Structures are given as structure tokens and as C-alpha cells.
Structure 1
Amino acid sequence: MSASGKPRLLVLIGPTAVGKTQLSLDIANAYNCEIISGDSMQVYRGMDIGTAKIMPDERQGIPHHLIDIRNPEEPYSTADFQEDCRRLIADITSRGKIPFIVGGTGLYIESVCYAYEFADRGSDPEYRLSLEQYADEQGAEALHALLVKVDEDSAARLHPNDRRRIIRALEIYKLTGERMSEQLGRQTKTSPYDLCIIGLNMERQKLYERINERIELMMEQGLEEEARVIIESGLPHDAVSMQGLGYKEFVPYFAGECTLPEAVETLKRDTRRFAKRQLSWFRHMKDIDWVEADENFHNKLAAVHAIIAGKFAIGLEYNSNQSFSTGVSANEQNH
């Protein structure tokens, strides 16, 4: 607990491929943290390469939560994530450690940081079915265009292939006459936690280069075969797990509608666009202390140390060998 009496919550956000994973391990080791994945796709078993999932032998003995907790056919929502995080934060705090959310799914993370309330808006199965049929006949872009007409902000946040969430946004508008973006905008921005949110950013062109390099590495690691197993397992096209990057881009290739290089280029393009949308979301969040990710890892860690020490009043001494030594007392660690 902090001096305010609220549980501490450390958060590291940033666009895909910016370098969150390696930095998170250094931070977690230094501050006695347990990591909670803030990635909406890493909850799914078997979707490892395409989600850049940190594997057990890479975790340096640091507990990682909300990874591999669902099968690909099972849904997982923002409300599910929020509920799981509340439980985990309380549990981790009770054991004298700092809960540390790391990821790039902005709505998931913001819903936890500010205790968003999710009201049951009901459903309209006939309307949903009509939208499904419309998307099947007219295509993803046409469905996305319907949302642009009624809720431009939500449309900007959602990828045209994210059929499930687009349909839900349209359904909410039909049922309530209110845009989903308006509902999100009304949420209070008061946190039940003593928050420290660190944002990792990078010069745009350098980030895009890293994205392209990462996808080439994923292909070398076997992404094509992983995608084939997932897609040929018979998952419905609107399954939550199929909305993430790294899998649906291969559907046309497996259907003989494009070449493998074309599928890879589509994945690179869509990932760059996704990173842009992530940064757009984060710019609307508050309480973020931004750190520029450059090639000097020492400077990056030093900047992060200063932010955390200032927010949580924890004394750490940063060493020239790129590691931290903690000045936290045993009593402080247990509170």
C-alpha cells in the first residue's frame, strides 16, 4: 500500500514492437513486481508467435498472469479483463509485491486504471444477424463504413476486420441512441489505485522498421504454420481470438487468393496501422509519463527509475551495469 492507503499499480504501455517486454523484465526484477499481461490476444492458448507472447523460459522467474487462460474459441472481454485484474491486484498486493500491467490494449488497461463501469445494454439478435449478413455480402469495409456514419470516434479506434466489436458498437447505438465513444467518455477518470503509468514511445519511422523486422522474425519462427493450425481448426470468423493481428491476414493466402509474400506485406501494413491506432488511444489517456525508447538502454532505464521513484516514493540506486538495487525496506515491501 502507498501512503494514500490505495494499492500501488504500475503500468507500462506503448505501441506494438516498441520494446515493452524486455523493459518490463528489468522493472519487475528491480521493484519486486508480478506482471499482468495487458494484451487482449495473449490470453489465448496456441497463439504464441503471432502475439509475440513471452514464453515461460524467457520470464526470468517473474510471475506472469493472464497469459494462456482461454482457448481460441472462447470469448474474453474488457469486463472479463477488469474483473481478473481486480482479483490479481488485490492478491499480488497482499503478498507484498507490486502489480505491474504491461501491454498495448488501451481500453483494457484504462478500464482497470479508472474502474470503468460496464452496464448491460441488452442485445438485439435479429439486428446483429442482419449486420453479420451485411458484412458477409458487402465486406468488412462496408460494415466499418456504417459505424463511421454514426460513431466516427469508435470507428477510428476499431480495425475494419474487428467485426465483433463493430457490430456491438452499432448495436449499442441502435438500442440506446448513444454512441459507444460517448459512453466511454463519461467514465470517471478517478483511480482506486496509486497509479504510475509509463508510456514507451519511439520515433515513428524507427517503430515501423522494428515492426517489419519483428514480422520477418515471426515468419522465421513459424508464424505461417501457427496461423494455419489456428485458421484450419474451424474457428468462426467472428471469434474474439481471430480479431487480433497475425492470423486473419493469412486467410486469403490459405484460400489461394494471394501469395505468401502478399499476406506478409498485408500483416506488416496492418500492424503499422494498429500501432498508429494504439498511439492515438494513448494520447487521450491521462497520467502517462512518456519515455522515449532509443538505442541507449541505460538512459531509458534511468528515466523509468526516476518516474517510479517519484510516483511511489521508493528509493532505488541505479547502477552503471544496467541493473537496479533497491532501497526499499523490508517493512515497505510488506505494505
Structure 2
Amino acid sequence: MLKEKLLVLVGPTAVGKTKLSLTLAERYDAEIISGDSMQVYRGMDIGTAKATTEERARVPHHMIDIHDPDYPFSVAEFQQRTEGLIRDINGRGKLPFIVGGTGLYIESVCYRFQFGQGGSDEAFRAEMQAYAEARGAEALHARLREVDPEMAEKLHPNDLRRVIRALEVHHLTGERLSEQLKGQKKQTPYELCIIGLTMDRALLYNRIEKRIDQMIEEGLVDEVRSLLNRGYGKDLVSMQGLGYKEIALFLEGRCTLDEAVELLKRNTRRFAKRQLSWFRHMQDIQWVDVTDMEKISDHLSEIHAIIAGKLTLDR
């Protein structure tokens, strides 16, 4: 039985995935599946760097704007929905193309992770949530670092839901979530090609800072204000996302806009570092260094060669 085909493009934020993905999608008659855990939320456009309306008109995009910001989106739901999309897109003779930077979500699809180990403890979750509210997200993250330092390194302190889940797994099973993930069978059910983009760290950080400045110019403050005014509180998982939590601090009068922007730049640099760390531990990634942005044709030639060696395509 022929395996379904799957093309994947990963890399840290601001490395240039969106622009390149459009070129590749048009070349290979692909449909893009967003591999970003925040782009599922409606009304969160600027801070999540969604593809524009014009870009989505060029290439079909999936897993964008499917939930309101108060919906508890999970990796298990991402996996289930994305597997359905992969079947559908392949069935229509197109190439499914996951593009994004949320490592666990993407890896769960590529290798069909099994979820649900350990069950749940609602009382424990509530206790951890209350702990974070009383002492701060950093304090809860410190507790995770004590029991599972490897998972703590991968999760931002503001990612409360996943920090709490990692603590809950340890609480219920006595095992580290990081070890459970390592125990997943890394055998893909797909004819799989994963391309990773990387670049010089200083250049990446510069691009991150410019992107954030552009987000402010495009109206990120108004976007966050609108979400808060519509009743989406800052304690929601979605509102803990990069850009939203920092700007909410400014709107609450707890810091200046300049301070919020600098905090956002710092947090995003740290996030990019964690993304790279996650992807470096993934198997099957073929890395392409895009530091020299003037050599886009060379980068494309390298990528085309990687795809030709991994996927059997009649195009």
C-alpha cells in the first residue's frame, strides 16, 4: 500500500518560512497546513504573523481561524484534524504541506504520537493554576524545572496550559513528560520530507526585532486591546501567547509601551532559541542555511533536490 505524501517546513520564528512556503506550494501544487498552535485563533492575526489574505488567496491554507480565543486547543486535536487534512489533500491529488514552528504539534503528526497516558487530575490542575495566579508563571515554571528540566527548557513560562500538563503527568505517573515523548515510536506512517530553515543567530535576532517593530506599526496594540475589550482575559492560554501577554501589561498600565516591546523582543529571542533546540532533536530534518538571503535561488535548488530525494512526485 502506497504511503500518503507529506512535506514539512520548520524553523524558528522570523526565519522566512511563510515567503518560502508560498513559492514551494505553488511549485509542487501543495496546500499549506499551519503548524502553529496560535494561528488557530480568530482575531489574533498580527501577533501570530498569519499569512495575509492575499497570500492565502495564492495557496489554500488550513488550520487557521478555526476557534475563538477562549477555546482550549490541544496537540491531540491538532493531530487528529491534521491527519484528516493530509488524507483529504492527498486524495485530491495535491501535496499536503505543514509549515510552522510548534515542534511538538508537528512532530506528533509526522510520527503519529499516542496521547492520553496518565489520565488527568482536575483538582491538581486547578491547584497549579491558582499557584500561578498567586505567585506568577515564572514560579510555576520553576517547579517544572525541578521535576523535568528538559521539558522546562522547551516550554515558555507563559505557556501555562502545557507547563501545568507537564507537571500533571509527573504528578500522576512519576515520570517526566520529556521521557514519555522520547519513548514515542519515531516511525512515520508517511512518505515524509522535513526541511528545516536555519540562519546565523545574530541575523535571526535582528529579523525578530524588525518583525516586532512592524507588528507594532501594523496595529498589534489595537489588536490586543480589541481582544481584551471583547472579554478575552489575559489568563487564557491564547492570551499568554507572545505579543499578547506583553502588550496586555502595557494596556493595564503596568509598563510603558517601549518596555512592553523590549520584553516582547527578549521573550521572542528566547522562544526562537527553544524552537531551534526542539527541532535539533527531531529526526529526519534536512537543514538548509538561509543566512545569505541574496542566494534564494541556491536555497531553492537545494530544497528541490531534498524534496526530489524524499518524495515521489509526478510534477
Name the TM-score class by shorter chain.
Answer: over 0.9
Q: Distance in 1 between matches of 2:117 and 2:69?
A: 24
The higher radius of gyration belongs to: 1
Structure 2 unaligned regions, length at least 5: none
2:21 aligned to which of 24, 27, 49: 24
1:155 aligned to which of 143, 152, 155: 152
- 2:197 partner SS: strand
Structure-2 residue corresponding to 1:199: 196
Letter in 1 for 2:223: E
Q: Tell me by how many angstroms 1:126 deviates.
A: 2.2
Q: Distance in 2 between matches of 1:282 and 1:58?
A: 26
Is this contact kept in 2: 1:39–1:104, CA < 8 A? yes
Can you list the C-alpha shifts for 1:45-102, whole angstroms capped at 9, x where unaligned? 0000001101222234311000000010111110000001110000000111110000
Q: Tell me by how many angstroms 1:263 deviates.
A: 0.3
Is this contact kept in 2: 1:230–1:247, CA < 8 A? no
Q: Distance in 2 between matches of 1:232 and 1:148?
A: 35
Q: Tell me by how many angstroms 1:138 deviates.
A: 1.5
Q: Does residue 1:306 correspond to 2:310, yes or no?
A: no
1:235 aligned to which of 232, 237, 255: 232
Is this contact kept in 1: 2:160–2:237, CA < 8 A? no
Can you list the C-alpha shifts for 1:87-134, whole angstroms capped at 9, x where unaligned? 000000011111000000000000000000002532222222222222
The alignment's C-alpha RMSD in Å is 1.3
Structure-2 residue corresponding to 1:321: none
Alignment of 1:135-154 (within 5 A): 135-154=132-151
Q: Distance in 2 between matches of 1:205 and 1:308?
A: 29
> In terms of mean alpha carbon deviation, does 196-205 or 250-259 score higher?
250-259
1:61 aligned to which of 58, 63, 74: 58
Letter in 2 for 1:77: S
Structure-2 residue corresponding to 1:87: 84
Q: Tell me by how many angstroms 1:234 deviates.
A: 2.5
1:188 aligned to which of 185, 189, 192: 185
> In terms of mean alpha carbon deviation, does 274-283 or 58-67 score higher?
58-67
Q: Does residue 1:49 correspond to 2:49, yes or no?
A: no
Structure-2 residue corresponding to 1:297: 296
Structure 1 unaligned regions, length at least 5: 315-327, 330-335
- 1:160 partner SS: coil
Aligned length, in residue pairs: 313
Q: Tell me by how many angstroms 1:297 deviates.
A: 1.1
Q: Tell me by how many angstroms 1:189 deviates.
A: 0.4
Can you list the C-alpha shifts for 1:216-268, whole angstroms capped at 9, x where unaligned? 11111001100111233322444221232110111221111110010011111
Moved over 3 A (4+): none
Q: Tell me by how many angstroms 1:140 deviates.
A: 1.4
Q: Tell me by how many angstroms 1:202 deviates.
A: 0.7
Q: Tell me by how many angstroms 1:311 deviates.
A: 1.2
Is this contact kept in 2: 1:44–1:70, CA < 8 A? yes
> In terms of mean alpha carbon deviation, does 127-136 or 92-101 score higher?
127-136
Is this contact kept in 2: 1:231–1:247, CA < 8 A? no
Q: Distance in 1 between matches of 2:42 and 2:205?
A: 27
Q: Does residue 1:12 correspond to 2:19, yes or no?
A: no
Structure-1 residue corresponding to 2:256: 259
Letter in 2 for 1:107: L
Q: Distance in 1 between matches of 2:25 and 2:298?
A: 17
Is this contact kept in 2: 1:124–1:171, CA < 8 A? yes
Judged with a 3 Å threshold, the aligned counterparts in structure 2 of structure 1 residues 236 and 227 are, in CA distance, closer, same or farther, namely closer
- 1:161 partner SS: coil
Q: Does residue 1:114 correspond to 2:116, yes or no?
A: no
- 1:200 partner SS: strand
Q: Distance in 1 between matches of 2:71 and 2:134?
A: 26
Letter in 2 for 1:278: Q
Letter in 2 for 1:270: N
Alignment of 1:259-278 (within 5 A): 259-278=256-275
> In terms of mean alpha carbon deviation, does 114-123 or 19-28 score higher?
114-123
Q: Distance in 2 between matches of 1:235 and 1:116?
A: 31
- 1:274 partner SS: helix
Is this contact kept in 2: 1:28–1:35, CA < 8 A? yes
